Amino acid sequence: MQWSVEVKARAGGFHLDVGIEGDRAPVVVIGPNGSGKTTLLRIIAGAYRPRAGRIRFGDRTLFDSAAGIDLAPEERRVGYVPQGYGLFPHLPVIDNVAFGLAGGPRRVPGTERRGTAAEILAEMECGHLARRYPATLSGGEKQRVALARALLPAPEMLLLDEPLAAMDVAARRGLRAWLTRRLACRGAPAIVVTHDVRDVHALGSPVVVALEGGTVVQSGPAAALAARPETDFVAEFFGAA
């Protein structure tokens, strides 16, 4: 599936003007703090409305300022995992995961959705966490639960904001491999925001988009950015400074 995002927006004191595209392979977005990475994900999720532009997944148009199309977040079929995972602290893990079946057009009765949630939790090796509350989970467990929750309604696009940031080094290593396998076997496109070059390598040399000050300063295969960085940030990110 081809997808493309082309948006202009004003957010938090700077202008975001970004055009990126991709297919089934994950795209990694890198950039310094305040470069607009999170804003970009939220725009794609439908939380913020851009001033102009177009967002397309395959033959579906999620946003088109010229045509007056602006799908609500609940109609976009994206899975969003924010920084810090965004688990609902008032719900046990099983209800967090089942949340995507608790409302809207995919709504199913309580016992059925808990059954479905339990299946995906088991598949993610988290079945034992079902009755726990998010506050009692480790960073890695939260990450898996958040991903399970995002995947349950079968989204067409995954948006992961710093999926490994809140974890210690050892946990990261294991989870990085696990996340890479998950994304690969899903086959749905993903946009992954990261601060860590090892995430880029783990995802198997994906396309990397470098954002600075709200615009794309460089994009292409990871190897190409590493070999010929065009900005100080990109050079530092790949450790070539």
Partner 1 sequence: MEDAGRAVKRRRSLAERAPFLAAIPMLAILAVPLIALAGASSPGDIAAGARHPLFAPALWLSTRTTLVSLAAMVVLGTPLAWWMASRPGRGSRVVETLVDLPIVVPPAVMGIALLEAFGRNGLFGPALSALGLQIPFTTTAVVAAQVVVSAPFYIQAAAAAFRRVDEDLLIVARTLGHSPASAFFRVAVPLALPGMVAGAALAWARALGEFGATLLFAGNFTGSTQTMPLAIYTALESDARVAVALALVLVAASALLLVPLRAVPALIARRLGGGRGGGRPPLQGFAGS
Judged by the rule CB under 8 A, the positions of this chain that interact with partner 1 are 42, 45-47, 72-74, 76, 78-84, 86-90, 99-107, 133-136, 149-150, 153, 155
Least Å from the CB of residue 104 to partner 1 = 3
For residues 88 and 223, which CB has a smaller minimum distance to partner 1 in the complex? Answer: 88
Alpha-carbon span 40 to 18, nearest angstrom: 8
The Cβ of residue 174 has, within 10 Å, a number of other Cβ atoms equal to 11
**Least distance (Å) between residue 156 CB and partner 1:** 11
In one-letter notation, the amino acid at residue 162 is E
Compare residues 66 and 135 and give the one whose CB is closer to partner 1: 135
- C-beta of 40: minimal distance to partner 1 in Å? 13
**3-state DSSP helix/strand/coil percent for the chain, to nearest 5?**
40, 25, 35
Tell me whether residue 149 or residue 172 sits nearer to partner 1 (CB atom): 149
Radius of gyration of the chain (CA): 18
**Pick 104 or 174: Cβ nearer partner 1:** 104
- What residues contact 197, with CB distance under 8 A and at least 6 apart? 237, 238, 239
15 vs 107, beta carbon nearer partner 1: 107
- Which of 9, 38, 12 is CA-nearest to residue 162? 38
- Shortest reach from residue 140's CB to partner 1, in Å: 17
Tell the smallest beta-carbon distance from residue 86 to partner 1 (Å).
4
Residue 126 beta carbon to partner 1: minimum distance, rounded to whole angstroms: 18
- Tally of helices (H runs) and strands (E runs) in the chain: 9, 11
DSSP letter for each residue of 9-42: EEETTEEEEEEEEE-SS-EEEE--TTSSHHHHHH
Question: Of the two residues 128 and 181, which places its CB atom closer to partner 1 in the complex?
Answer: 128
Q: Residue 46 is which amino acid?
A: G
In the complex, the smallest distance separating the C-beta of residue 44 from partner 1, rounded to whole angstroms, is 10
Our CB check for partner 1 shows the closer of 150 and 210 to be 150
Rounded Cα distance, 149 and 81, in Å: 9
Distance separating alpha carbons of residues 152 and 75, to the nearest angstrom: 15
